[in-house]
Every structure is written in C-alpha cells, then in structure tokens.
Structure 1
Amino acid sequence: MADPTEKLPYAVPETGIAELGLFGKPLFEDPSARALARVGVVDVGSNSVRLVVFDGAARSPAYFYNEKIMCALGAGMAESGHLSPQGRVRALSAMRRFKKLADGMGLSELSVVATAAVRDASDGRDFCDEVLRETGLRIWVIDGEEEARLSAQGVLLGWPGAYGLVCDIGGSSMELAEISGGRVGKRMTSQLGPLKLRDIKGGAKARKAHISDVIDKLKDKMGAQRDRLFLVGGSWRAIARIDMLRRGYPLQVLHEYRMTPRAVSATVKYIKETDPEELRAAAGVSSSRMALVPFAAEVLSRLVQTFRPKDIAISSYGIREGMLYEQMPQRLRDRDPLIEACRFAEAKDARMPGFGKTLYNLILPLYKSAPAPRKRLIKAACLLHDVSWRAHPDYRAEVCFDNATRANLGGLKHAERVFLGLALLHRYSNKRENARFSDLYEMLDETQRADAEILGKAMRFGAMLWMNPDEDRGEIRWFSKKKQLQLRLTSDMLPLFGEVAEARLNSLAASLGAEVEIKTVRERKPSAE
C-alpha cells in the first residue's frame, strides 16, 4: 500500500512519557494542563488588535473565541513618530471590549503583548498607561527578538520538532527566527512591515532597493537557511489565499498550505497584474489587508530569492499560540498535537470514550509493517471514528469528511487531512461518490484512496464489536502473501458477529482482495499478577 505520510515535515514525538505509549494518560486531564484549559491572550499589533481565548486540550487548543479589530496603530509613524490618533482610539475601545468579554467568560486574567508600533512610538508608554487606567490590563511591550521567539514557539505548537526559518510579518516589522529540533535558535527583527514600507519616499524603485538591502543584511547575520520557510502573519496568509485562487486549489485551509518558490514568483506577478478590488473580492481578503498585500508581496519575493528555501509553509499559529506554548510544561510540549486533539474530541463527543484505543489494537494487524507516521494517522482515525455519531445518518459520512479536512488540527499536511477524512467517510459508507468532494479526492493518488477505503472499512467492521469493553474480543490476523483475512473470535463474542458484521467484514476483505476465514478460539485468561 502506498503511504501518503512517508515524508512528514518533522520528527513525530512518540510520547512525553515513553512507557505509556501514544495512548498514555491524556495530559489535558492532568492538573497542570487543566490550568491551561481556557487561556486568553491579546496581541496589540501595528495593524490589528486581536483577542484569542484558547479552550480544550491544551496541547492542541481549540479557539473558544477569536476577534480582531483592524486599528492600524502604526499608520503614519514613519513621519509622525507616534501612534495613529485614530488607531489609538480604536485600540483603546477594543481593549475595553476585550476586558469586558474576558470578565464574562470567567477568565482570571488576560496576557497582553504589544509589538513594533507600541515599542517604537514616542507615545507608546503613554498608551500602555492609558489602557491600564481604563481597563486594568497591563501590556507587556516586547522587543523584536522576543517577538520572533514567541512566533517561532507558535510554529512549534503545531509542528513538534520542526526545522527551518520562521518569518513573521506584522504591520511595522518583520521577524526571523531559526528553529531546529523543536528549539528556537538565532532570531532577528527588521523594519520591513508593510505600513513602514508604504511610507518610504522615492516610490517602487527606492522601496525595492531598501527591501533588498535589509534582507541581504538579515541573511549575513542569520546564515544559510535552505530548509523550510514558515510564514506567520496576516499579510502572508492573504498572499496564500491569492495563491490558492490562482491555482484553483480545492482545500481552503491555510494552516500547512504549501507553496514553492516558483509559485511565489507566479503569485507576486499575478498580484501586480490583477485589479486589486477584483482580487480582494475573489480571494476573500479584507480591504484593509489588501492595501498592504502588494508591499508584503515585494518582501516575500526578495526573501525567497535570497534565502532560497526548499519549500514554504503557511502557519496559522504565531505569537498568540507562542504565548500559550510558553506556559506549557515540557511534558505537554512533547505530546503530539494531532493525537491530543483527537483524544480530546473522543472524550468529549464519542458514545464510548476509550474505544478508539481498542479499535486501533483490533485493526493494527493489517498494518504490522507500517511506518510510524502511517500508524499515527490510523490512531487519529480510530480516535475520531465515532465523534460525529449525532449527525443525521444520511449525512454522517460527509460530515466526517468535512470535519477531518477542515478541523483545527495541528501537525497534519493537507494530503493527510484528505486521507483521514476519506477513511472516516468510509467508516460510515462503502461508497464515496460525492461530487462536492471530488476535487479533494484528487489530492490523493489512486492507491492512497484505496488505502483510506481499507482503513475506513476496517473501522466500520471493528465498530460492530464495540460492546462489553472488558471482554476478550478475539483478534484479526492478516496474511498478506496468502491474501487471507482471518477473524478469531471467542465463543462468548460470536453472538456479536451477526449478518451486518459479516457483511462489513466481507466488504473489507473485498477491498483487500482477500479470502475470509472465521475461527473460534478460547477466551484468553488474564495473567496472574
């Protein structure tokens, strides 16, 4: 079977506590993790002020609340030296609202950071004092290197063990940080934010020369960075949306979206040649963000030409997620974000929480020689196999596919999302004829689609044996050379193997091109302690 997961962009951690395995005690049940169950952070940037409240499994958090106000605090700073008066009024109003929301949500505190605009403005301290008087919120003004470190930690939240160069662009600055082996290395800041570039005198020629000069200096200090380039920030995400539009890309999920250097060059050209308003409407980019995209595109073009990364990945995680990561104990950081998120979903929504592990063990003989990345996806599928049971039976299969492909899951490439979604679709349906998803199916080759179908049908059969969790169910054995699928059941479990279960087993065998053999075995007695 072909494996869509052979080349993950990171080394998947096995577990924070090796002897427990990947199905060890979920850390979000640990008191230290429960303390992170709902965490509120505010990012006061040069272009926007955003409140994010994280909730759920702390290692792979859900976004309980997310609100952004485009304030443009840094607009005009190159000339005036102080914060935009209009932006300051809007930002203060946003902070009052965010404090009220936090109180209503029962948050004990909000962590608030301010970046380039506030740290560089002559009245930045005055603004922080005003916010403190008006709301009681204390703003932590961070320098450029600390901003780079937190953004890089946000990337590590989604990509454990990631390596490469993280580039975070805001309104007034751009930060670089190298990551390797799950650690943040060298980091630098620059004045390459779109709001600053917009104010440069001398037009496009002067701006281009300035961008080239700054990026060349960044390269001299950062050194060679030929690995993956992780892009963090709203302007980069807007460019990614435009790249998706240009390519006709079917999966509209920004996190883990990949671009090649050649694609970046084509999209920068596309931005230059297309009417901005038409482009904004077609790509779903706000007017205020679209106004900054041409300047950000110039920076990205030069950045890629200079550092020559092997590929480029969009990260939806940045400084706010980095602030959450900062608060995590190391044993929580070491956990796999995909498995933690799936585990939390099972605990919250499945009819029989914990059966995902039993199901995984039942079907594992089909994947005895599978590499660790493949087994990781199988574990995720087994944990999620029952979380959509409340959906109407006629639509349950497509709800499963939608959830997997569009859910907030870290550590999952787009092709892996589709593979996981297709496997879960087949958990509830033998067929996958659905014109709405056909473009997404094409992201996998024929063998990968067949593999997803086999996994789905294995879960579909295994779910028939879900009752009596403490009983010995027997086992599946797979003889790949003989193409024989053997089901070994104890006599006590035989009543569960009814007509529907038999039909599902035969369907799995047909997908494997195998013959079925049923054997009755003695119940295994628990070993004496």
Structure 2
Amino acid sequence: MAGPDRAMNSMLSRVRAMAETMATSPEPATARSAIIDIGSNSVRLVVYDGPRRIPFILFNEKVMAGLGASLAKTGAIEPEAMERGLRAIGRFAHLCRDMRVTDIRCVATAAVRDATNGAEFITRAKAMGLTVELLSGAQEAIGAAMGVLSGIPDADGIVGDLGGGSLELARVRKGAVEQTISLPLGVLRLPQIRAKGPRALDRCVAKMLEKAGWQAEPDLPFYLVGGSWRSLARFDMQLTHFPLPVVHQYEMSAARAEQLTRIISHVDKGRLKQIPAMTGSRVPTLPDAAALLSVVVRQLKSSRMIVSAYGLREGLLYENLPDDIRAHDPLLVAAEAEGEAQARFRGHGDRIDRWIAPLFPDDDKDARRIRRAACLLADVSWRANPDFRAERGVEIALHSNWVGITAAERAMLGQALHTHFGGDVGTLPNLDRMASPDALHRAALWGLAVRLAQRLSGGVEGPLAISHLERHGDRIDLHLRDEDADLYGEAVERRLRNLAQAMGLKYQLLGGQG
C-alpha cells in the first residue's frame, strides 16, 4: 500500500474510533440510560441521552406483545404473548449493549404482577441477563405521577394512568405525590365489565373508589397518562382542528369526555387509523378508554382534562434525580441544550436576556420564562437558508419536544423567534388561535429586541457585556462607551429604530459609559 493511502487509512481509523465515543449531546456516551417497560399491552425500550433533567430520546421502539390480553379470562399470560414479550426484551438488551447503555432499568407492571405465570416470565428474563423489577400498583402510580411532575412541574390535581391491566390514580401538589391507588380497570379488562350493562362501569368505579377510601376533591384538573387516553386526545384534536399537532398539555373540558364517548361509538375505525400518530392497535381500545374517562372525571368532579406525554418511564428517571437537578426548569434546560448545540458561538443566551430585560419591566414570571427560552434559542436558525430562517424558528418553537410549556406559550415562543429571524412582526396564521393578540405582540417585541442584540454583538457575548439598554419614559437609550462607539453601525441603528417604532418609542445612542 502506498504511503499516502496508509496515512489516509490511519487517519480514517482514528476518526472512526473517535466517533464511536461521541454522544448526541455534550455528555459522554456513558451517560446514556434506558428503560425497558413491560406493560400489559406493549413492551417498550426507550434510550435516553443528554441533560439529566430533561434527557433526549435517542431510540424508541415498542412491541405490542399483549401480555395482559387473556388475564380477564384465564388469569395468565398466553404462551404466544410470553414468547413475543421475551423476544422483544432480548432484542432490547442486545441493542442497549451495542449503544453502550450502562444504566438499564427493566420494569414490569400490572400484567406480569397479576398473572399466575408472571414469575415464569421474570425467571426467563433473568436467564437472558435482565433483572425485571416488578412494580407494585403504588409504585406504578407514583412513577406515573412523577412523570407528570417532570413534564408539568406546577401540576396540581389528579393523575390518571390508564394501562392495559390497571388504572392508577395519584394526587399531586407542589411537586409531590400525596396519595395513590391502583384499580384493576385497564383497557383490556373494561369490555368484560361493560358487558354487564349500561351502568355497570359507573357502579364498578364508584365501588372501587369507595373501597379504596378515595375522597373526591371537586374542581381539580385531571392529568391523562397512557397511550389510549393520549390517542383519544389526538382524536379530539382532529375533531376541533387544533392548530398544534402536539398532545402534551393539550386541554379539554371535563364534559368533553362524555361527548367523545358518544362520538367515537359512531366513527368508522378506518377514519381513526388515519389520525397522525394513532397506532392501529390503539383503535379498538378507544371506546372503552373514552367510557372510563367519562366515568372517572364525573365521579372525581374534575374541572378539566390535561394530557401529559410523560408518564411512568419519565417518572422513573425523575425519581432518581437529586433535588437540585429536579428543581431545574425542563423547558429552559432543553432550550439551552438545543441552543448550545446549534449556535455559532456558545454561551450567551442568558446574556441576551439580561440585555433586553430593561425594555420589558412589565413581563410577569411566566412571560419572563418564555422570553428567556427565546433568547436561549436565538441562534438556532443560522444554518438554514436565509429565506426560511423565520419559518425554521417557528418550526422549532411549535414542534420541538418541549415540556413545561402550554400551547399559548409555544405560540409566543414561535412569534418571538419568527420576528427575531427576520419575519414580519404581524401575527402568524393559527398562532392567534392559541394565544391572545397582546401576548403575541409582546413576543414580537422580544424578537425585535433579540434581533438588535444579535446584530450589535455579531452573535458573540463581548459587545453585550460593554453596552446596555435603558428605557426612560418614551425613549430607548442604547449606552456604549466612547471607545466602542464604532459598534453602532447603520445596520444596528436600523434595528434599534425598528424596535423603537414597534414599541411606540423614540431612541438614541448615549456614549461616555466608563
């Protein structure tokens, strides 16, 4: 082999070796964790990477094993279902080894817990090198509730996690789980209950709640967890033509549950299968899931329903975090990670926020949080075609996998990024269906202010550290030291003028800052 070829091959070998150690986040590959969730309907593997508070999903796969399909009739896992489930977890274990996942937690819930041959499943899994942790009903309820708190930190109400074999309820308040119960009301058990008559499910739920000693607290929100209820929410999003295709923190009135029960009983299954993100295996469970939801929210006297995309798996991760990391804001952690990964120059999103803050003294706590997220994402579109940077900003705001953010707040974030990346300050189509005109106008002003900061600074932190903005009455003052006055070019003045005009203010440059 010729000398240059050997040198090239040696270099490529070093590059490949280096690539194998690289993760998809700033943390090393050894930070990857995985959950294998053995449920009554499905067996799923999720591999996580990135920030511990809000890790990114690196890989996600499920197998509809149906371990709980025969429990109501035979009390056991059918042989075919058991083999399907064991094959799935065998594949998942192999993938985890290849992905260099060092922290694997394999948990089983109601089907394995209740089946007469559940111990056999656990023993055979152990022979494959996997230790299956059998969760009690209380542990399952706490895990689901922790998942909701991870994605909706200020959740205050009742969490309901509907699985194939059971329904878990948990009272959450101020970041803690206060009360839990587990009821044998999974979607695989409901047909047998409902077959006993029109009011059989109502009587069954009432009896179970009374026996468990569960006291209803009227007018609390009900947080929906579980694939069947999320699918039901997606159906409602289609019916209402909701403009945001994100189910997390989607809200419905409590009365909507009963309406959906009637509607879905008359809808062709073919139409249901056409709904985005609706798996065919979920379609048969929707009528029973809707019926149970209607009964539960009525008996709990719930005020409204809020969907959580986070549940047991995320809750298991969240439970194990130190308190100081739990306290981190999930939206801001994710926005910072996304911003840092895509930025031209790193580490100045917080500086931008502090720099523009004097212009917006009336922003409340919630608004300041979304404004900061916009600043952290201030450089995410620079690689995009210049003609589509504004659209790219909106796409990131609306469709990225954020949690801890409502639809209205996503709209504000989208408006801010759209304006920052050169889009019109006018309200974008459909955003006004999610947020008020005043909120969107305020977000557009944030975007113009960030646009000014980025132009003045060239995208780096230094110029922002030696300058500052002030608002005095009807005027914006930009302060620069005399020796730095050359930073105030035509483009900077134009952006300052655009911001001032949009705010209905005058502007001026002030020097002499020491």
2:116 to 107, 122, 125: 122
Residue 340, structure 1, aligned to residue 333, structure 2: yes
Q: Deviations over 1:131-153 (max 9, x none)?
A: 111x2011001111110001111
Contact 1:188 1:218 in 2 (8 A): no
Q: Deviations over 1:152-203 (max 9, x none)?
A: 1111111224211110000010000111110111100001111011234845
1:302 to 279, 295, 302: 295
Contact 1:485 1:516 in 2 (8 A): yes
Residue 66, structure 1, aligned to residue 57, structure 2: no
Residue 183, structure 1, aligned to residue 176, structure 2: yes
Secondary structure of 2:198 counterpart: helix
Contact 1:465 1:473 in 2 (8 A): no
Deviation at 1:95, TM superposition (A): 0.6
2:402 to 399, 403, 409: 409
1:131 to 109, 117, 125: 125
Residue 516, structure 1, aligned to residue 510, structure 2: no
Match of 2:165?
172
Contact 2:108 2:133 in 1 (8 A): yes
Please provide the CA RMSD for this pair: 2.1
Contact 1:112 1:137 in 2 (8 A): yes
Match of 2:461?
469
Match of 2:312, as an amino acid?
I
Match of 1:8?
none
**Rounded Cα–Cα distance in structure 1 between residues aligned with 2:447 and 2:410:** 14
**How is 1:343-492 mapped onto 2 (pairs within 5 angstroms)?**
343-431=336-424, 438-467=429-458, 469-470=461-462, 472-479=465-472, 482-492=473-483
Match of 1:12?
none
Contact 1:231 1:315 in 2 (8 A): yes
Match of 2:120, as an amino acid?
D
Farther-moved stretch of structure 1 (200-209 vs 66-75): 200-209
Match of 1:48?
42
**Rounded Cα–Cα distance in structure 1 between residues aligned with 2:30 and 2:229:** 29
Match of 2:188, as an amino acid?
L
**Rounded Cα–Cα distance in structure 2 between residues aligned with 1:254 and 1:211:** 30
Q: Deviations over 1:49-105 (max 9, x none)?
A: 111111111111211111111111100111111112222121111111101110111
**Rounded Cα–Cα distance in structure 2 between residues aligned with 1:54 and 1:238:** 23
**Rounded Cα–Cα distance in structure 2 between residues aligned with 1:212 and 1:145:** 18
Q: Which runs of 4+ in 1 moved over 6 A?
A: 33-36
Secondary structure of 1:417 counterpart: helix
Deviation at 1:280, TM superposition (A): 2.7
Contact 2:202 2:295 in 1 (8 A): no
Deviation at 1:432, TM superposition (A): 5.9
Secondary structure of 1:165 counterpart: strand
Contact 2:381 2:421 in 1 (8 A): no
Q: Deviations over 1:399-426 (max 9, x none)?
A: 1111111111121011101100110111
Contact 1:226 1:310 in 2 (8 A): yes
Contact 1:211 1:299 in 2 (8 A): no
Match of 2:16?
none
Q: Deviations over 1:242-274 (max 9, x none)?
A: 111111111010111111112222222211222
Contact 1:211 1:302 in 2 (8 A): no
Q: Deviations over 1:324-370 (max 9, x none)?
A: 01221111001111111112222222112111121111101012232
**How is 1:14-413 mapped onto 2 (pairs within 5 angstroms)?**
37-133=31-127, 135-200=128-193, 202-205=195-198, 207-214=200-207, 216-217=209-210, 220-224=213-217, 226-282=219-275, 284-413=277-406
Deviation at 1:218, TM superposition (A): 6.7
* 1:315–1:147 Cα change, 3 Å: same
Deviation at 1:216, TM superposition (A): 4.3
TM-score by length of 1: 0.88
**Count of paired positions:** 488
Structure 1: gaps (5+ residues): 1-27, 524-529
Farther-moved stretch of structure 1 (421-430 vs 267-276): 267-276
Contact 1:346 1:384 in 2 (8 A): yes
Farther-moved stretch of structure 1 (394-403 vs 212-221): 212-221
Q: Deviations over 1:370-409 (max 9, x none)?
A: 2221111111111111122211211111111111111111
Q: Deviations over 1:445-473 (max 9, x none)?
A: 22222111101000001101225634543
Select the structure with the greater relative contact order (CA < 8 A; seq sep ≥ 6): 1
**Rounded Cα–Cα distance in structure 2 between residues aligned with 1:266 and 1:236:** 14
Task: Report sequence identity in percent.
Answer: 34
**Rounded Cα–Cα distance in structure 1 between residues aligned with 2:490 and 2:257:** 55
Contact 1:225 1:307 in 2 (8 A): yes
* 1:74–1:366 Cα change, 3 Å: same
Contact 1:225 1:308 in 2 (8 A): yes
Deviation at 1:45, TM superposition (A): 0.2
**Rounded Cα–Cα distance in structure 2 between residues aligned with 1:113 and 1:236:** 21
Contact 1:242 1:283 in 2 (8 A): no
Match of 2:93, as an amino acid?
K
**Rounded Cα–Cα distance in structure 2 between residues aligned with 1:282 and 1:316:** 17
Match of 1:114, as an amino acid?
A
Secondary structure of 1:492 counterpart: helix
Contact 2:30 2:102 in 1 (8 A): no
Deviation at 1:213, TM superposition (A): 3.3
Secondary structure of 2:281 counterpart: helix
Secondary structure of 2:62 counterpart: strand
Structure 2: gaps (5+ residues): 1-24
Match of 1:500?
491
Contact 1:48 1:68 in 2 (8 A): yes
